[in-house]
Amino acid sequence: MNPQIVFTGLGVVCGAGLKVDGIWDAIRHGQSSIKEITSWDVSRWPLKMAAEVTGVDNRTLVEDRKLHKMISRTDLFGLYAANCAVQQSGLLGHRESLDPAAAVQFSDRSGIYAGSGAANYGCNYDFYPALAAADGDLNKFGGQFSESVNPMWLLRNLPNNVLCHVGIRYNFKGANACVTNHCAGGILALAEAAATLRANEADRAIAVGHDTPCEPESVLHFMRLGLMAAETVRPFDQRRDGTIFGEGAASVVLEKAADAQARGAAIFGEFLGSGCVTEATGVLRLRPDGDGLSRAIELALADAGITPAQVGLVVAHANGTPASDASEANALRHVFGEAMPPVTGFKWAYGHLIAASGIVDVVFALLALRDKIVPGIPTLQTLDPALAPLTVSSAPQTPRSDIALVLCRGFGGLNVAVLVRAHP
């Protein structure tokens, strides 16, 4: 029998704010954080919109100023979200109450799983002045690049910085992994953390996903691929024209339910199961029939030991790109038929956070279950007739049960499904 696994800490930072409840309140009131980009001059750019994290000092995210020189912007977000989740969970105070031997075992049985987008194009920007000055002369570049490249360049761009520094900060020394798998990085970190607890390789684990795709080259290349929207994200709408980047991170603390209950922890929900498949069709191509996503959902349902009829709401990937939304609708119709639960999505509110996108959706799926509401998608004006019937709405709906299905998709035909349940 698999042990019951519960969520005891939640943390999020994104363009909509720094606090989970504040962001959730904005979602419920239909407020989007997608605005004109401020981190570089977009006055002559064809695409100008993103959901950036603005007006936040680095010390608000990570108090240790020395660490700022050794980590990147995406790491700051990841560490902040992880800190919020850990502090809320009460794990640190509980460890302090243990005798020395038990405290050592507690640390050794505490795991960390991080999902990142690996390196963004910004990691190369330090080299550009020297490359321009060298004018094609690589010998000259080799002699001058150290003048413009930060000596901490390598340390700042390690994809596992969040994993390492969470462990260092909290002395968590158990099972761990860093998942760099495009959009699925964060939600796969969560799934791997749950699998670790099921396998009794750890008693608790922090899962975090973080990314900062709001940079010139990422926007430019996604635009050239035809994946970016001009104004906002309009999932499933007949006018949908693409997605818009957001930046930030989300983190959760997972524990065995018996341990959480024994120490009197607040519980936000239960992890039920997950499924992950690839369509093996190419880097960008999606099967129109949604085969990969429907198989991931079916695997998650089997892992959780439940039927489609028991699912109360779906938080769709809903990235607003024509092909992804269409194949996602087909997958949902295949799995649920005419008995589809209410469907929503959140990227209209805080953009597409790439590696953090799936795990941040899990956080707000838990709150949707807690408050017994399926927030509407305010940017949905007219459902694309080709996607009907699809139980999506611009107005709030009511979940039909206490279980939520969260979907996440990534390049390479990757599809992930996670099932969570509300805590009684």
Least trusted range by pLDDT, from 113-117, 143-147, 253-257: 143-147
Q: Give the confidence band of 153 by pLDDT, cuts at 50, 70, 90.
A: confident
Phi, psi of 260 (to 5 degrees): -65, -40
Domain layout of the chain by residue ranges: 5-119+157-421, 123-153
- What are the angstrom distances between the C-alpha of 304 and each of 4, 274, 299, 315, 421? 11, 7, 9, 17, 10
Across the range 126-136, mean pLDDT stands at 86
What whole-number distance in Å separates Cα of residue 210 and Cα of residue 114?
A: 8
Span 169-227, pLDDT tens digits: 999 999 999 999 989 999 999 999 999 999 999 999 999 999 999 999 999 999 999 99
Percent of the chain clearing pLDDT 70 (strictly above): 100
CATH 3.40.47.10 assigned to 5-119+157-421: yes
Ramachandran class of 89: left when φ > 0, alpha when ψ lies in -120 to 50, beta otherwise = alpha
Looking at the predicted structure, is the pLDDT value of residue 282 above 90? no
Q: Give the confidence band of 157 by pLDDT, cuts at 50, 70, 90.
A: confident
Looking at the predicted structure, is the pLDDT value of residue 271 above 80? yes
Looking at the predicted structure, is the pLDDT value of residue 396 above 70? yes
Predicted pLDDT of residue 118: 67
Looking at the predicted structure, is the pLDDT value of residue 67 above 70? yes
β-strand partners of 403: 421
Span 79-128, pLDDT tens digits: 999 999 999 999 999 999 999 999 999 999 999 999 997 668 888 888 88
Q: Give the confidence band of 1 by pLDDT, cuts at 50, 70, 90.
A: confident
Pinpoint the alpha helices (H) of 211-356: 216-224, 257-262, 291-304, 322-336, 347-350
Looking at the predicted structure, is the pLDDT value of residue 355 above 90? yes
Q: Give the confidence band of 254 by pLDDT, cuts at 50, 70, 90.
A: very high
Q: Which two tokens stand for residue 334?
A: 């295949």
Predicted pLDDT of residue 194: 98
What whole-number distance in Å separates Cα of residue 67 and Cα of residue 52?
A: 22
Span 322-342, pLDDT tens digits: 999 999 999 999 999 999 999
Which H or E run contains 209?
strand 204-211
The whole-chain average pLDDT of the chain stands at 95
Across the range 41-49, mean pLDDT stands at 94
Across the range 22-36, mean pLDDT stands at 98
